[in-house]
Amino acid sequence: MRRRYLYNFYIALALLVPCCALLGCAHLSPDVPVIEQEKSKTNRADSYYHYMKGVLHSLHDETDKAVNEYTRALGVHPCSPYLAMELASSHLQKNDIDGAVAILEASVRQNPDHVDTHILLGTFYERMQEHDKAVRHYRTAIELEPELPDPYLLLSTVYRNQKNYDAARSVLEELLCINFDNAMAAYQLAHVYLEMRNLDKAKYWLRRTLTLEPGFSSAMKDLAVIFEHEQDLEEAVSLYRQYLDFIPRDMAARARLGNLLLNRGLYREAAAEFETILDQGSYGVDIRLSLGLAYLFGEINLEKSTEIFRDLVNENPDDERARYFLAVSYQEQGEKELALEEFGRITPSSSVFAPSRIQMSLILNLEGKTAEAVRIIDKAIVAKNDEPDLYLVLASLHEDTGDIDRSEKILRMGLAILPESTDIIYRLGLIYEKRRQFDKAIDLMRDILAIDPENAEALNFIGYSYADRGINLDEAETMILKALQLKPGSGHIIDSLGWVYFRQNRIAEALEQLEKAREFLPDDPTVAQHLGDVYELNGRYEEALEIYRKALDHTPDDSEIKRKIENLKKMMP
């Protein structure tokens, strides 16, 4: 802000120039008797003396004494707006806001054109929640000095606090018409749009702020938060790093950066941020937990991660998140019995109860103890029957043993409790697909779309199923394109699009999409088969044969791939 109420300077000015001169009163002239001129000098000296004593008392937090001295100084120069503002500020330090306002109101009656007094009064009235009076004084300040940005910015804040966003925006736009390069106006306008949930315009004005003032750290942080909310994690990480270059001790921002890096799988970088926070003396549970996760998932230091989680559990045995990850640490180090013990201590009321029982079942199943794994999940469902993942895992355990009928019954039992669980419906659809009950599988996928019209997996399932059978190809293409819009990086959906193009005899487009899918899923046998089929159709037999052989490496018992390889060999010279 251009003005910061430089009271000391203003006071000195007031003591050099008699207040009546500032008010346009009769000037002292050579005709004024010498005795009067000498008296004026004495008054100025007295005023300066009391003012300086007030400053010294203020510096020593002796507010009552400061008020007394400022009052005496103002008594000598009652017209001085600068002394009035200083005295009012001292009253405010005593929490005497009514007294402060009374002093400023008296001063503004004597000096109606003094802009700073109107601005200070506006801030006091806003503090008192007397918004209309604050608005009136800010408006007066704007009329008196239209190019001064402060009253516009303060007035817009009043309107924002009242959630009158149109008025706040209008005031800031008025200021920007006068000075488009005002960074604070751009920043405040961004916040108006943020509160209006208009993120695109908020981003525009935050970027504009940073263009005008590249080191505006708060704008960097706010923009980073928006990108984090929008899941544009790369941009968010970049902005948090820029912000922390300016404000390295903002540990809350550093923690957000650390968690973003953790979510992106950049475990070493995340660990470095959490270590920095701990080095600064911040030992919060969440920071230590996050550091342990970085060590664990990044396989940076499994022993250290175990130590962190064990310490957290010892400090608070009810911290079941820490206990869960302690068990995972044991599991990763091959300490299966310790892992099972810690997983088993997690109670049904915990948010990690279902994951703990799922991990227990996986450990037991890998050891060939499938029956025991099934019992663990059965008991978990009795304890907590509203967790869809428990039904999915139990169904999978039975499916792995070849008992598909039992798997179907479990999924239907889950749907009786959770009728809108799209994950359970989808898994049931896959069972019908295995049984070659095509129509039932499609009906279930349409049930999913009735619940969630933007379920990319269901859209892709229907689209691919149609393409694979060579039916409803236009609808298949529409569904797959919608699925790809929802999940643009999905190799499986890109493969489906290539396959529907192949069925539509759009070979060049099919080849383009299938080669792209192969880049995403180089080891997927289905993608390899599709690409091989297109190569074969185009007479690229050697490339087709190479692709089929690579696919067979991953599914050595696939009779269809073997048949294609044999047929291709017969066709080749």
In the DSSP assignment, the letter for residue 128 is T
Closest of 319, 314, 327 to residue 347, by C-alpha: 319
CB contact at 8 A, 234 and 266: no
Whose structure tokens read 């066709």? Answer: 571
pLDDT at 84: 76
Whose structure tokens read 């989808």? Answer: 426
CA dist 461 and 440 (Å) reads 13
3-state secondary structure of 493: helix
CB contact at 8 A, 223 and 206: yes
Residue range 96-134, pLDDT digits in tens: 888 888 888 888 898 999 999 999 999 899 999 999 999
Closest of 570, 569, 571, 491 to residue 531, by C-alpha: 491
User: What tokens were used for 480?
Assistant: 């797959």
pLDDT at 34: 39
pLDDT at 1: 42
Closest of 12, 13, 17, 19 to residue 79, by C-alpha: 19
pLDDT at 29: 41
Task: Give me the torsion for CA of 416, 420, 424, 426, rounded to 10°.
Answer: 130
pLDDT at 18: 35
CB contact at 8 A, 62 and 54: no
Q: Please give the single-letter amino acid code of residue 489.
A: G
pLDDT at 47: 64
CA dist 425 and 431 (Å) reads 10
Residue range 179-226, pLDDT digits in tens: 999 999 999 999 999 999 999 999 999 999 999 999 999 999 999 999
The secondary structure of 550-572, three-state, reads: HHHHHCCCCHHHHHHHHHHHHHC
Q: Please give the single-letter amino acid code of residue 442.
A: I
Q: Please give the single-letter amino acid code of residue 487.
A: K
pTM comes to 0.75
CB contact at 8 A, 265 and 274: no
User: What tokens were used for 558?
Assistant: 């696939």
Q: Please give the single-letter amino acid code of residue 140.
A: T
CB contact at 8 A, 45 and 76: no
**Which CATH number among 3.10.290.10, 1.25.40.10, 2.102.10.10, 3.40.50.11310 corresponds to the domain 347-434?**
1.25.40.10
User: What tokens were used for 296?
Assistant: 């664990």
CB contact at 8 A, 99 and 124: no
pLDDT at 43: 53
CB contact at 8 A, 466 and 475: yes
DSSP per-residue letters across 449-485: HHH-TT-HHHHHHHHHHHHHHT-SHHHHHHHHHHHHH
Residues in the chain, total: 573
The dihedral sign for the CA sequence 564, 567, 570, 573: negative
E-strand stretches of 323-364: none
E-strand stretches of 294-422: none
3-state secondary structure of 38: helix
Output the tens digit of pLDDT for each of the chain's 573 residues.
Answer: 444 333 333 333 333 333 333 323 333 344 444 334 444 444 556 666 766 776 776 677 777 776 677 677 676 667 778 777 877 777 777 788 888 888 888 888 989 999 999 999 998 999 999 999 999 999 999 999 999 999 999 999 999 999 999 999 999 999 999 999 999 999 999 999 999 999 999 999 999 999 999 999 999 999 999 999 999 999 999 999 999 999 999 999 999 999 999 999 999 999 999 999 999 887 689 999 999 999 999 999 999 999 999 999 999 999 999 999 999 999 999 999 999 999 999 999 999 999 999 999 999 999 999 999 999 999 999 999 999 999 999 999 999 999 999 999 999 999 999 999 999 999 999 999 999 999 999 999 999 999 999 999 999 999 999 999 999 999 999 999 999 999 999 999 999 999 999 999 999 999 999 999 999 999 899 999 999 999 988 889 899 889 888 888 888 888 888 888 888 887 777
CA dist 543 and 69 (Å) reads 95
pLDDT at 347: 97
pLDDT at 25: 36
Domain segments of the chain as ranges: 347-434
